[in-house]
Amino acid sequence: MHFTWREALDVAIVTFIFYRGLLLIKGTRAVSIMHGFLLIIIIYYISGEVGLNTLHWLLTNFLGSVFLVVIVLFQADIRRALSTMGTGLFWRRVRRSEEAEGIVREVVLAVFRMARTSTGALVVIERDIPLGDVIQRGVKLSAKVTKELLITIFHPGTPLHDGAVVISRDQVAAAGCILPLAAISGLDSVYGTRHRAALGITEESDCLVVVVAEERGVVSFAENGEIIACPDEAALRAKLWDVWGRRI
């Protein structure tokens, strides 16, 4: 048996519609109603096979008007499905892209504002490897990423300014987190404790860490056990976008 490309496309479209339909009704009362419809269809075929003519006739007439029955019973679910289609994958990607741009902008603005005032900062950005153990060692926040929040956390004298901020799943998950220090003997003397902490955590996970040196006001980022000076906002923005852009 040979399938043409049109037949293959037809099967793929029907399968996709059926799959999306199942996702839409999952966890709703529509599932129970679908079970009832399935039972009626089974009884319909059995009654036809064994000669239960009256029952078969009744079910034939019922199934003939099943389209109207479905519209009446599933009107709320159909409305929800059409609404979901109106805000489909394309628009979800657009919204997520806008959200990612907003987070990157807030982090960049906060970091370079702190750099201009020589305010030390340590921002850890989670990637694929979860940082739950690090978050547990800090103060949980689950807050929106804003420049005001980051600047406030690292302001000298605040209770959490000496630790690290962890950004996980597009939120400030925790602050005041203690990071493992890298055991590197030949590290340049211009790097302090924050830089050692940045190297230490990136040796254990795939996270990206942004560091602001308190003494010099220099911005650096660390990943894979290496630390690189960040010359300007554009370089940091590109690096952060490399993290969040992959999630869209």
pLDDT digits (tens, 9 = 90+) for 41-81: 888 888 888 888 888 888 888 777 767 776 776 666 666 55
The closest of 193, 231, 192, 194 to 211, measured between CA atoms, is: 194
Q: Considering the entire predicted model, what is its pTM?
A: 0.61
Same domain flag for 134 and 227:
yes
Count: domains in the chain: 2
Side-chain-side CA neighbours of 4 within 13 Å: the count stands at: 3
Which DSSP helix (H) or strand (E) runs through 173?
Answer: strand 171-177
Same domain flag for 42 and 104:
no
Query: Which domain does 206 fall in, by range?
Result: 94-247
> Contact at 8 Å (CB) between 172 and 198?
no
Dig out the tokens for 89 from the structure.
Answer: 């994958």
Looking at residue 95, what is its pLDDT?
Answer: 56
The closest of 126, 188, 184, 119 to 147, measured between CA atoms, is: 119
Looking at residue 100, what is its pLDDT?
Answer: 77
> Contact at 8 Å (CB) between 159 and 177?
no
State how beta strands 164-168 and 121-125 pair: parallel
Among 27-36, 59-68, 119-128, 214-223, which is the least confidently predicted range?
Answer: 27-36
Same domain flag for 12 and 100:
no
Structural domain ending residue among the three candidates 86, 109, 138: 86
CATH of the domain at 124: 3.40.1700.10
